Structure 1
Amino acid sequence: MTGKFTPDDLAAYVFSRTGAPNDDLLVGPAFGEDAAAVRVGGETLVVSTDPISLAAERIGTLGVAIVSNDVAACGGVPEWLTCTILLPDDDPALLDTITAQLDAEANRLGITIVGGHSESVSALSRPLLSLTCAGAADRYVSTGGARPGDRVLLTKAAGIEGTAVLASDFADEFDLPADLVADATSFFDDLSVIPDAAALEPFAAAMHDPTEGGVAAGLTEMAVASDAVLSVDPGDVPIRPETRRLCDAADVDPLRVLGSGALVATVSETAVDEALAALSDAGVDAAEIGTVERPEDTDHEAAGLRLGDEFLASPPADDMYALWD
């Protein structure tokens, strides 16, 4: 199996085993919550950690974007980063490539790499990175804060990360036109949601960045974490033309492929126009894609995502996993 463990497994074996209690822990491990919040003096420190192993060509770029997005999506300003680099071979050239990517993306986003660890592990077949990012937040915004009556917003579009990875890692396999590969590879520049989150934070009841499983998984995680039903019409979800072409070539669903680059948020009905205007002022495209309901007010009577005619009570697996088998 490739992908995340089930909510039941996480509850049984992870969330209940968190070591010594500490009064300064404000938000700890919980389903759908990608970052913790810790009281440090009079401030709130947001901390997140993430691995990345499947995407190979731009793994350093992706790693920095993904882990810093988790901090930003909780209302934090990503500032500090550590990275463990595990390589399949003692390959200085590959180490050079990855650390150059880490350095360039961290510098572009204003993040300082403060430490980490690097070694070769013969049991690996591809590089593996594990990154931790931290930054201060004026207000922690949880994944599980969606309220009945809220409207669901999505920034940029679905499948941005998946589009970039398909172009960089699978161009030859799917015999993609050179112009499409060039356009889609440029999506690596759109992976950060730091500007998106900064614009939305004053209005958001909940924020979450879709990663594995794409927008469908991200919306489901927000719904379950909020004990709510998110109702979304798939036709309202923005999808770029390059994403449609590449997903058609790979026979994958744009709503179920790596989704970094988009940010999901819920805001009150009265704040929608102001939130969309703030995003526009920040140069970020966005769309209203759905509503938040109480489970008891729906046909399902359980938390989850109503995606057109489909109901998801747990996040779907990413359609791209099979491409690496």
Structure 2
Amino acid sequence: MGLAKTRRETCITLAHGSGGKAMADLVAEVFVHRFDNALLAPLNDQAVMDWAGGRLALTTDSYVVDPLFFPGSDIGALAVNGTVNDLAVGGATPLYLTCGFILEEGLPMDTLRRVVESMAQAAAAAGVQIVTGDTKVVPRGSADKLFINTAGVGRVPEGIAPSADRLRPGDVVLVNGFLGDHGAAITVARADLALESPIESDCQPLNGLVSEILKVCPQVRAMRDATRGGLATVMNEFALSSQVGIRLQENALPVRPAVQGLCELLGLDPLYLANEGKLVVVVPPDQAEAVLAAMCAHPAGTDSHIIGEVVADPVGFVLLKTAFGSDRILDRLVGDQLPRIC
């Protein structure tokens, strides 16, 4: 059933940008319905196509995070790293980025310079070049300070084809570190909370880590960076795409005590909080230990963990084995716990 039939909405709401059920309905009903083609159909974070005797990956993303600067990072580094990571989890080596700026009249020039310098530093750290772009200025009140769009292109080696629809029962699920840091950092920045243990965003490029994973396991089933909607949303997307079940172990999920405490205080769930430097990896069972060792040896994966496995049933569901031995269903949220986190 389409968006109008299931949600009866006539206007866009913040929930439509959340990564949850409302956004999935919007994408399926409005965008996929009109743009349908073979490259779009897998609904990965990038499209992979044959080009000039090789394979290229293409992705695009827009960044509207509020505030522009937050503990550990800012909108500029986020725009570069987010696009680099969307290419990397498709198995691509990121090469070139574009950047488009929507600037609100009255934005301080020093703010723009600071953001652009951050982008330049992030691009250098990720080994990519920003090669073209565009700038538009809108009247005061027509935007919120500064929005950025980035697109990226990368090269995909032969034999590398991770995709959300390739999971098989018995496969092993890994994550490269603590969950929910970015969403928690944005929450702290917006509320101006004073915490004994500061929380910083995990914003970082993941292409170097992915390169090490692919060296030991070219047969990786799927990879995705757990941004909007967090780990739980990615797991649901994988389960539905591959028509399998996924079982996670609660005691294996890495969450910082400060993030867990903040979530308990505010009624949030860290499994749905956004990350900007975490990827979920699914690999064949006989490759899991080698992949874990490779991840732990890389600076972006020192806190990597095996967190679960793919199962045959129940199809399309994600189950969390709790510390009490019971199963909890991790469904997709309709909206998001926190809007405008990226």
Which TM-score bucket, shorter chain as reference?
0.7 to 0.9
The answer to whether the Cα contact below 8 Å between 1:216 and 1:315 also exists between their aligned partners in 2 is: no
Q: Which amino acid aligns with 2:40?
A: G
Q: Give the distance between the partners of 1:272 and 1:175, measured in 2 at CA.
A: 40
Corresponding position of 1:198? 211
Corresponding position of 1:28? 40
Corresponding position of 2:58? 47
The answer to whether the Cα contact below 8 Å between 1:224 and 1:313 also exists between their aligned partners in 2 is: no
- Of 311, 316, 328, the match for 1:303: 316
Q: Give the distance between the partners of 2:262 and 2:209, measured in 1 at CA.
A: 25
Corresponding position of 1:320? 338
Q: 1:165 to 1:227 in 2, by over 3 A?
A: same
- Of 182, 186, 190, the match for 1:165: 186
Corresponding position of 2:49? 38
Compute the displacement of 1:233 (Å).
2.3
- Of 169, 176, 179, the match for 1:148: 169
Q: Deviations over 1:126-156 (max 9, x none)?
A: 4211111111011231122211110111111
TM (norm. structure 2) is: 0.81
Q: Give the distance between the partners of 2:257 and 2:48, measured in 1 at CA.
A: 38
SS in 2 for 1:14: helix
Q: Give the distance between the partners of 1:317 and 1:307, measured in 2 at CA.
A: 21
SS in 2 for 1:13: helix
Q: Bigger shift: 207-216 or 246-255? A: 246-255
Q: Which amino acid aligns with 2:144?
A: S
Q: Which amino acid aligns with 1:170?
A: R
Corresponding position of 2:269? 253
Q: Does 2:227 correspond to 1:211?
A: yes
Compute the displacement of 1:248 (Å).
4.2
Corresponding position of 1:101? 118
Aligned-residue sequence identity (percent) comes to: 26
Compute the RMSD of aligned alpha carbons. 2.5
Corresponding position of 2:148? 129
Compute the displacement of 1:110 (Å).
1.0
Q: Bigger shift: 87-96 or 134-143? A: 87-96
- Of 90, 111, 116, the match for 2:133: 116
SS in 2 for 1:128: strand
Q: Which amino acid aligns with 1:221?
A: E
Q: Give the distance between the partners of 1:233 and 1:257, measured in 2 at CA.
A: 18
Q: Which amino acid aligns with 2:205?
A: S
User: How many pairs are equivalent?
Assistant: 305
Taking the TM superposition and a 5 Å limit, the aligned residue runs for 1:177-196 are: 177=196, 180-181=197-198, 184-185=199-200, 187-188=201-202, 190-196=203-209
Compute the displacement of 1:69 (Å).
0.6
Q: 1:203 to 1:159 in 2, by over 3 A?
A: farther
Corresponding position of 1:16? 33
The answer to whether the Cα contact below 8 Å between 1:256 and 1:316 also exists between their aligned partners in 2 is: no
Q: Deviations over 1:95-120 (max 9, x none)?
A: 21221121111111111001111222
The answer to whether the Cα contact below 8 Å between 1:304 and 1:314 also exists between their aligned partners in 2 is: no
Q: Which amino acid aligns with 2:122?
A: E
Compute the displacement of 1:323 (Å).
9.3
Q: Give the distance between the partners of 1:320 and 1:267, measured in 2 at CA.
A: 31
Unaligned runs of 5+ in 1: none
The answer to whether the Cα contact below 8 Å between 2:212 and 2:295 also exists between their aligned partners in 1 is: yes
